[in-house]
């Protein structure tokens, strides 16, 4: 029966480990959230590019020609004049989104729903001229390296190195296969959990002690909680990693607990009767958190902090096209100081407000004014006011205009800008890492993760002081 249970556990471990390895995922970095940029030599006609994309199944591509087809049309032919060049030249400036800074390539924005179909289209287009994608493969080497260094340090401190190495195989694989800052931090916690498990290796009833220890449970379960933030698949992979650690600990600790030599029930020396007792320490009397293991908690927190620090810096990109890094393409940027700024949603708001309300406004009206357009109907011989069309400058008006654009058959560039957020800035950039930058929520989760080992260390110190005082 015991052999059967072990075979089941080994099968689950091998299947889980195989699934984790097969889920190898190199993070992809690109410039725009929700869209992938296809750039093609200006010598390739737009109709040709769109025909190839359509045959590949890519629909609703944002192109230069679609901007002129779907512009807001005022009711009167008289156009407003503005001293603000950003406002009056908006329609011309918006065309910059469809060329690189050197005007050698025309750009096409493909929705990420169709990104899996871009490979076939790109192969066809490359036979017609120079083209590529704004996609870079970003492998954060710091994630597995920090985990490996932390493992080596714990290995040097471990009393039972072979079981610790076997336990640690799974979180190390997880950090290597699915590398990102959250998974790296989760792997660090799991490695420290493995370190505590190996301390129970020489003890009897180690399984019961390990599964009832608050420190070990937190270190094996909390990583699953933080990995759930990334994706459901990430949650599954981390859960399988923790499961592999638990099953391997279950087999190894159980095997060790029954491997000691059994003595006779009793034996006699001269006139005295003796009953043997086990000299193997009992798990209930073993301290999982000792002074030495508590000191490692601070290094555990340091390893997680290193994951945060390295994730804040740009990583080396492996470009999907050899010329991508040489191009300067429109992209979201954190600031536009010293760069040529491209139109944003604030410019679109001002331009569409002027265009829509121009024929109804007083020449001395301000942008913040509310514009009401009354409608009348004839009742007998009198014209009676029925309803009014009301325009209010601000976010409500902006959302209304963007909603109208979202329903068009051919999408406009404003739909793309909306995806990036209302307060985004845009300019030319040769970096393709803007979308994958560390978000505020991710940073918050990582900081909470740092508090786990620090909180454990603080709790241990307070418990020791309390014991001394008593």
Asked if residue 267 is part of any domain, the answer here is: no
Q: What is the rounded average pLDDT of the residues 15-30?
A: 79
CA distance 368 to 352: 14
CA distance 30 to 36: 7
Domain shared by 333 and 456, yes or no = no
Domain shared by 304 and 353, yes or no = no
Domain shared by 310 and 331, yes or no = no
Phi, psi of 75 (to 5 degrees): -75, -25
Asked if residue 272 is part of any domain, the answer here is: no
Domain shared by 227 and 312, yes or no = yes
Domain shared by 309 and 343, yes or no = no
Domains contained in the chain, number: 2
Q: How far is CA 265 from CA 101, 212, 269, 282, in A?
A: 88, 31, 14, 19
Domain shared by 307 and 456, yes or no = yes
Q: Is the alpha carbon torsion for 253, 255, 261, 267 positive or negative?
A: positive
Q: What is the rounded average pLDDT of the residues 314-326?
A: 48
Highest mean pLDDT among 96-105, 357-366, 367-376: 96-105
Lowest-confidence segment of 31-35, 219-223, 234-238, 445-449 by average pLDDT = 31-35
Instruction: Give every CB contact of residue 366 below 8 A, 6+ residues apart in sequence.
Output: none
Domain shared by 207 and 237, yes or no = yes
Asked if residue 271 is part of any domain, the answer here is: no
Asked if residue 435 is part of any domain, the answer here is: no
Q: What is the pLDDT of residue 119?
A: 84
pLDDT above 90 (res 148): yes
Q: What is the pLDDT of residue 9?
A: 76
Domain shared by 164 and 301, yes or no = yes
pLDDT above 50 (res 320): no
Domain shared by 200 and 303, yes or no = yes
445 vs 206, residue with greater confidence: 445
Asked if residue 349 is part of any domain, the answer here is: yes
Domain shared by 169 and 213, yes or no = yes
Q: What is the pLDDT of residue 269?
A: 54
pLDDT above 50 (res 464): yes
Whole domain around residue 63: which residue ranges? 33-133+319-429
Domain shared by 17 and 60, yes or no = no
Lowest-confidence segment of 129-138, 390-399, 425-434 by average pLDDT = 425-434
Q: What is the rounded average pLDDT of the residues 106-128?
A: 88
Q: What is the rounded average pLDDT of the residues 408-434?
A: 77
pLDDT above 60 (res 262): no
Domain shared by 81 and 204, yes or no = no
Lowest-confidence segment of 17-31, 73-87, 112-126 by average pLDDT = 73-87
Asked if residue 195 is part of any domain, the answer here is: yes
Catalogue the E-assigned strands of 52-142: 105-111, 131-133, 135-137
pLDDT tens digits, one per residue of 152-163:
999 999 888 998
CA distance 49 to 41: 10
CA distance 332 to 341: 10
Asked if residue 249 is part of any domain, the answer here is: yes
Give the pLDDT band of residue 260 (cuts 50, 70, 90): very low
Asked if residue 274 is part of any domain, the answer here is: no
């Amino acid at each position: 029966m015991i052999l059967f249970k072990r075979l089941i556990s080994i099968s689950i471990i091998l299947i889980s480990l195989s699934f984790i390895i097969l889920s190898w995922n190199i993070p992809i970095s690109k410039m725009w959230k929700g869209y992938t940029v296809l750039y093609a030599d200006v010598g390739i006609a737009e109709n040709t590019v769109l025909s190839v994309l359509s045959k590949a199944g890519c629909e609703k591509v944002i192109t230069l020609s679609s901007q002129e087809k779907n512009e807001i049309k005022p009711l009167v032919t008289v156009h407003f004049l503005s001293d603000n060049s950003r406002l009056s030249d908006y329609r011309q400036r918006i065309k910059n989104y469809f060329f690189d800074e050197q005007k050698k390539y025309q750009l096409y924005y493909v929705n990420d729903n169709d990104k899996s179909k871009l490979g076939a289209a790109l192969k066809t287009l490359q036979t017609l001229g120079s083209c590529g994608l704004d996609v870079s493969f970003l492998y954060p080497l710091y994630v597995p390296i920090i985990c490996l260094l932390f493992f080596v340090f714990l290995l040097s401190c471990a009393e039972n190195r072979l079981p610790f190495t076997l336990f640690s195989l799974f979180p190390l694989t997880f950090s290597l296969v699915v590398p990102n800052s959250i998974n790296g931090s989760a792997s660090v916690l799991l490695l420290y959990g493995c370190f505590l498990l190996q301390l129970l290796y020489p003890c009897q009833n180690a399984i019961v002690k390990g599964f009832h220890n608050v420190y070990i449970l937190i270190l094996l379960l909390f990583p699953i909680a933080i990995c759930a933030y990334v994706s459901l698949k990430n949650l599954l992979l981390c859960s399988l990693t923790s499961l592999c650690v638990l099953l391997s600990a279950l087999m190894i600790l159980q095997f060790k607990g029954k491997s000691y030599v059994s003595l006779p029930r009793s034996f006699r020396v001269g006139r005295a009767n003796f009953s043997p007792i086990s000299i193997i320490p009992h798990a209930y009397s073993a301290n999982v958190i000792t002074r030495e293991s508590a000191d490692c908690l601070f290094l555990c927190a340091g390893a997680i902090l290193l994951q945060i620090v390295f994730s804040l810096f740009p990583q080396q990109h492996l470009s999907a096209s050899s010329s991508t890094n040489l191009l300067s393409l429109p992209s979201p940027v954190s600031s536009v100081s010293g760069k040529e700024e491209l139109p944003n949603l604030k410019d679109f708001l001002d331009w569409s407000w002027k265009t829509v309300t121009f024929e109804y406004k007083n020449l001395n009206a301000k942008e913040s004014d509310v514009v009401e357009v009354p409608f009348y109907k004839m009742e007998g011989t009198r014209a009676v006011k029925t309803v009014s069309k009301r325009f209010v400058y601000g976010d409500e008006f902006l959302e209304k205009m963007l909603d109208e654009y979202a329903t068009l058959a051919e999408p406009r560039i404003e739909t793309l800008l909306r995806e990036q957020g209302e307060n985004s800035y845009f300019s030319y950039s040769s970096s393709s890492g803007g979308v994958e930058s560390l978000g505020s929520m991710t940073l918050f989760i990582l900081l909470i993760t740092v508090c786990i080992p620090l909180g454990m260390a603080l709790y241990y110190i307070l418990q020791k002081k309390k014991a001394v005082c008593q």
